[in-house]
Structure 1
């Protein structure tokens, strides 16, 4: 689990370094925000957050316990990867618009 969070930190740091070198700070919002949102949406798809209750209940009773645990594990890993990137994007947005 730590490796996905560390990978997210590395990607966020790489985007930060690229923005510094290119002197284009909007990259922080565009690239880190996009990576974070795509990872967040993928995690939502894995958990079944975008389906209705009947479909979720049908999926719950038709899948095995191992499949359900894998699905939740994948969504957790994606959230851990998305977290540093979303923090970078939100931090840039707050600094740019409110400070």
Structure 2
């Protein structure tokens, strides 16, 4: 789990370095926002946070336990 934290930390340090060197704080903000929003969206899709209750219930009964565990594992990695 710490591996993904350190990947995010390295990306943040690189973004900070680019923002300081180019004197462009908008670049820093945009890259950081994309680096945060894209994994959050993928995590939400894998968990099923963007569907209605009926669809979530249908998905729950159509998935196997292994599929649910796999989705939760990948969602936690992206989060």
Q: What TM-score do you get using the length of structure 1 for normalisation? A: 0.75
Measure the CA separation in 2 of the matches of 1:2 and 1:66. Answer: 24
Q: What TM-score do you get using the length of structure 2 for normalisation? A: 0.92
Does residue 6 (structure 1) correspond to residue 6 (structure 2)? The answer is yes
What is the 5 A alignment of 1:21-32? 21-32=21-32
Counterpart of 2:63 in structure 1 is 63
Where structure 1 has 5 or more consecutive residues not aligned to the other structure, the ranges are: 80-99
Cα-Cα RMSD: 0.9
Measure the CA separation in 1 of the matches of 2:2 and 2:59. Answer: 29
